[in-house]
Structure formats: structure tokens, C-alpha cells
């Protein structure tokens, strides 16, 4: 992000009135909370004819898109626009550009018309499409390659929420800048609240109790309607809920689908096949409410065998808490699960910051049991490894794991790590004599 406000400042910007030549009037947005993805959206519009912003429902796609859009059509609520698409889809694309087409997946036919319009018009940045679900594959829909670029939007990071100073920049860490930061304590009570409330923009003005109620409703919607909507398959809502609860219990672990299926069935329920479990997970992935963390495959000097299982994560750990009906007080009584959710919060934030520089966030695990929680891989030969720990007393063990891992990596082929770091809940940010950085989450930013 080109210019990021510090913690404590007003993190909103005023937006001026814009001409709207759309089929539906767009209300003027008085305040907007800046997102790390804002600059990326501008870059995408400058590079391609259309940008597709994807992300889970309620993560802020529409409002983010409206900061750049000059006109809009909201397909999920505008019945007239839906009727027009059936008769003359091209008319829906007419309007000042960039033209926002919100929830495009409700009328998938519009995809090919956007692609053709991009081909026919000179220049870049004609359309912004937003979608909270991936429609079924359709052989009549062109991939959009070379015309439509994708931008993933996730719930807000702690920096975007104003709960991190952002003074320890992930980008700077990956370029070798030493970590130095005064104490940035997030109390365990603050962390428990942040985990359970989540990074949803609509929660910014809600109390904790109100936010938890909305999150439980979010999970209810997934169980009752959303999963069926995305693939047309009718499922027992209670069974979907048990699947979500199993994922929540196994968050930030490499639990297999077979283990999750057994957990869903339990001693008294009908068994769940691997095929059924896969269909549930695929549906949740298309809703973009789960986002597993892929394994990293470096070249190794040792004979250790790499494990290839993904780590289970929701796009925001608040979904895991809501699926199990947990509030902040539950996390404070179960520090083991709290630690897993803390790891999931950090992975969410790392993904937001890493995406801004074209990086991906993976994990490492081998057959000896050695694990590294997060590998930020920017490009061949440029990467950093992080352990994530809730509790300063766990730093020493995390450092030993990182150094052991670094010794196994064949740096002649993978390159030297740009950084090794332990991300913790509080304390100071500094570089240890052994070269490992200690980074408080309340200081981490893009």
C-alpha cells in the first residue's frame, strides 16, 4: 500500500460524489476504511480490460470496488438488470467506466459478454466484477485469460482494523530490513476478541456480542442455503454444520478428509464417504469460506521426506469460533485451541500482506515431524520462514525448529532465506544474536 495510516489515526477516507450512469443508483459512501488491496486494484485496472474481485460474502468486495468504479449494476438485487440480461446483455455493460458489475455469478452469461466488450474497446480498466461464489464450470464460458485479471479480497487484517501499528513491514522483512519495534502488546483478552469478531468490515461499529450474533448467522446461512446455492446439491443443514464444526476443531492442522469425515459421523451418525466429504469441502472452497494452506516443497540437503498435506484454515478464524458457538471466554479456557486460532489469524494477515507483493503463503512439514508454520515465497530464491506462537515462553522452541529447518534446506538451489522469524502475540520486535527475528503481531503490516 503506497501510504498506510498509522494506528490511532482515522483509518477512513472521504469519497466524493461520482457520476453514476448505471441501471441502479449507487449511494455515496461517506467513509471508507482503507484496504491493503486498494493499490493492487488500481494496478490491475491499469493492466487489464477487466478485474474480477473474488472473496467470501461480507468481506467488503463491493465497497472496495466502488472506490474505483464510475458506474454500477447490482445483479443480486436489481431484477430489471437480470431481466435485461436475458434479452440484451450488452445494455447492462453500458455506463461510465470502470463499470462495476456486482455479484456477476448470479448471471454467469455476463462473463462472455464482458470478455467480448473488452476485446472491442480500446484501453484498459473497463469493468470491475465482484463475486462471493465461483459458479459451476461452463464450457461456454471463456477463461478470460489476457482480458480479465483476478484479485482476491479477504477479511480485514489486524493492520487494516487498526489493531496493529504496521511498523514491521512484511515487505521490508523480505528485503532484509532488521526488525526493531518497541513493545506492541495485544493482551490475550484483546486477541480472543479479535479472533471471535473477525475481520469483517460490517463489524467495525458493532459490539462484540452483536458481531458474534452476526457470525453465527453467517454460519447458519452457509448450512441452510449458501452451500446448496453454489452447486445445486441439497444437503442436510445439520450435517453441513457438523462438517464445519469438524473443520473448526481441526483448524491449523493437516487433518485428512478421511479423519474429518469420521469426526462428522461420530458414534451415532451415518458414515460419510470420502467422496461426500470432498464435495462438501469443494463447495466451501467455491464459497471462499475455507482456504487451505498448501505445502512448500524446497530442495533439501537431508534425506527427510516432505509431507504434501495442506493445512486446514477458514478464510477468517471467526468462522471456526462461530461454528462451535465459541466466544472470547471459551478461547481463554482452551489455550490449546486458542493457539491454533491465533495461528490462523496470523496466516490470514500474512496472506493479505503477501498478496500485495505477489507472494504466496505455504507451510513446511516432513516425515520426522519437523514443521514450519508459514513460508512466504515471493519468487525463486526469495523466501522467509516463520513460526507462530501464542506465548513468549515458546520462542526458544520455535527458534530451534527454524534453525533446524534452515539447516535442511539446500540453499544452493533454494537460495538463502531472507528472514527467519517467530511471530508472537506481544512484546518487543528485535533480531536475536542467532539471526532469528521476533515479531509481535501487533506490529506486523504490509
HSE on the CB side for 213, CA within 13 Å?
A: 5
Q: What is the pLDDT of residue 175?
A: 93
Please check whether residue 163 is in contact with residue 135, taking contact to mean a CB–CB distance below 8 angstroms.
no
CA distance linking residue 390 with residue 339, whole number of Å = 6
pLDDT at 23: 39
Is residue 257 a contact partner of residue 277, using CB atoms and an 8 Å limit? yes
**Widest pairwise Cα distance in the chain:** 69
> What's the rounded Cα separation, in Å, for the pair 402 and 424?
14
Mind giving me the DSSP string for 250-263?
A: TTTS---HHHHHHH
Work out the average pLDDT over 112-129: 95
Q: How many other CB atoms are found less than 10 A from the CB of residue 21?
A: 12
Model pLDDT, residue 381: 84
Buried b (16+ CB within 10 A) or exposed e, 248-273: bbbbbebbebeebbebbbeeeeeebe
DSSP code of residue 409: B
Question: What is the pLDDT at residue 265?
Answer: 84
3-class secondary structure, 427: coil
Nearest C-alpha neighbor of 368 from the set 332, 404, 344, 315: 404
User: Where residue 28 falls among pLDDT bands split at 50, 70, 90?
Assistant: low
pLDDT tier, 54 (very low <50, low <70, confident <90, very high otherwise): very high
Q: What's the confidence (pLDDT) of residue 142?
A: 64
Phi and psi, residue 371, nearest 5°: -130, 150
pLDDT band at 17 (very low <50, low <70, confident <90, very high): very low
Q: Exposure of 142 by Cβ count < 10 A (0-12 exposed, 13-18 middle, 19+ buried)? A: middle
Identify the bridge partners of residue 372 per DSSP, sorted by sequence position: 364
Query: Which residues 6+ apart lie within 8 Å of 220 measured at CB?
Result: none
Q: Which residues of 234-244 are buried (b: 16+ CB within 10 A; e: fewer)?
A: ebeeebbbbbb
Residue percentage of the chain with pLDDT more than 70: 91
- The 3-class secondary structure across 209-252, one letter per residue, is HHHHHHHHHHHHHHHHHHHHHHHCCCCCHHHHHHHHHHHHHCCC
Order across the sheet with 148-152: list the strands.
71-74, 99-102, 127-131, 50-54, 148-152
Global pTM value:
0.91
Query: Rounded to whole angstroms, how far apart are CA atoms 90 and 64?
Result: 25
CA atoms of 30 and 366, how far apart (whole Å) = 51
d(CA 284, CA 390): 28
Instruction: Give the model confidence (pLDDT) of 95-111 as tens digits.
Output: 999 999 999 998 988 99
Percent of the chain predicted with pLDDT > 90: 78
What CA–CA distance (Å, rounded) separates 8 from 5? 8
What would the pLDDT profile of 75-87 be if each residue is shown by its tens digit?
Answer: 988 888 888 888 8
Closest CA to 72 of 51, 49, 95, 89: 95
Render pLDDT for 228-238 as a digit per residue (tens, 0 to 9). 888 888 999 99
Q: How confident is the model at residue 136 (pLDDT cuts 50, 70, 90)?
A: low
Q: 141 falls in which pLDDT band (50, 70, 90)?
A: low
Q: 218, 219, 178, 211: which is closest to 195 by C-alpha?
A: 211
441 and 183 in contact (C-beta within 8 Å)?
A: no
- Alpha-carbon span 217 to 382, nearest angstrom: 42
pLDDT-derived band at 350 (thresholds 50, 70, 90) equals very high
Amino acid at each position: 500500500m503506497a501510504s498506510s495510516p498509522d494506528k490511532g489515526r482515522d483509518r477512513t477516507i472521504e469519497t466524493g460524489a461520482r457520476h453514476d450512469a448505471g441501471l441502479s443508483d449507487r449511494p455515496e459512501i461517506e467513509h471508507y476504511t482503507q484496504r491493503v488491496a486498494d493499490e493492487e486494484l488500481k494496478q490491475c485496472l491499469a493492466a487489464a480490460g477487466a478485474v474480477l474481485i473474488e472473496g467470501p460474502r461480507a468481506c467488503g468486495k463491493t465497497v472496495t470496488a466502488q472506490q474505483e468504479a464510475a458506474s454500477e449494476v447490482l445483479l443480486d438485487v436489481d431484477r430489471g438488470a437480470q431481466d435485461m440480461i436475458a434479452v440484451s446483455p450488452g445494455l447492462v455493460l453500458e455506463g461510465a467506466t470502470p463499470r462495476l458489475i456486482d455479484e456477476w455469478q448470479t448471471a454467469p452469461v455476463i462473463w462472455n459478454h464482458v470478455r467480448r466488450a473488452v476485446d472491442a474497446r480500446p484501453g484498459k480498466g473497463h469493468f470491475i466484477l465482484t463475486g462471493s461464489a465461483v459458479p459451476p464450470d461452463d464450457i461456454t464460458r471463456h477463461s478470460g485469460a489476457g482480458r480479465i485479471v483476478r484479485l482476491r479480497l479477504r477479511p480485514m487484517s489486524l493492520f487494516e482494523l487498526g489493531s496493529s501499528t504496521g511498523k514491521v513491514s512484511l515487505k521490508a522483512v523480505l528485503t532484509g530490513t532488521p526488525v526493531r519495534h518497541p513493545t506492541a502488546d495485544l493482551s490475550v483478552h484483546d486477541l480472543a476478541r479479535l479472533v471471535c469478531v473477525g475481520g469483517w468490515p460490517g463489524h467495525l461499529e458493532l459490539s462484540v456480542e452483536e458481531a458474534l450474533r452476526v457470525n453465527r448467522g453467517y454460519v447458519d446461512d452457509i448450512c441452510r442455503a449458501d452451500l446448496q446455492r453454489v452447486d445445486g446439491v441439497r444437503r442436510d443443514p445439520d450435517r453441513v454444520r457438523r462438517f464445519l464444526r469438524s473443520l473448526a476443531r481441526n483448524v491449523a492442522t493437516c487433518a485428512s478428509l478421511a479423519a474429518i469425515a469420521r469426526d462428522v459421523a461420530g458414534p451415532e451418525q451415518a458414515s460419510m464417504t470420502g467422496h461426500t466429504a470432498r464435495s462438501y469441502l469443494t463447495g466451501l472452497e467455491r464459497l471462499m469460506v475455507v482456504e487451505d494452506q498448501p505445502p512448500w516443497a524446497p530442495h533439501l540437503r537431508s534425506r527427510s521426506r516432505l509431507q504434501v498435506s495442506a493445512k486446514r484454515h477458514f478464510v477468517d478464524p471467526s468462522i471456526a469460533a462461530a461454528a462451535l458457538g465459541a466466544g472470547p471466554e471459551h478461547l481463554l479456557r482452551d489455550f490449546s485451541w486458542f493457539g491454533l486460532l491465533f495461528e490462523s489469524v496470523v496466516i490470514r494477515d500474512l496472506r493479505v500482506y503477501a498478496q500485495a507483493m505477489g507472494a504466496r503463503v505455504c507451510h513446511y512439514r516432513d516425515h520426522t515431524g519437523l514443521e514450519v508454520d508459514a513460508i512466504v515465497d515471493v519468487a525463486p530464491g526469495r523466501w522467509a520462514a516463520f513460526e507462530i506462537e501464542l506465548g513468549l515462553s515458546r520462542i526458544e522452541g520455535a527458534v530451534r525448529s527454524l534453525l533446524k529447518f534452515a539447516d535442511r534446506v539446500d540453499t544452493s538451489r533454494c537460495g538463502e532465506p531472507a528472514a527467519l522469524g517467530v511471530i508472537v502475540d506481544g512484546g518487543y520486535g528485535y533480531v536475536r544474536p542467532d539471526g532469528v527475528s521476533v515479531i509481535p503481531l501487533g506490529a506486523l503490516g504490509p
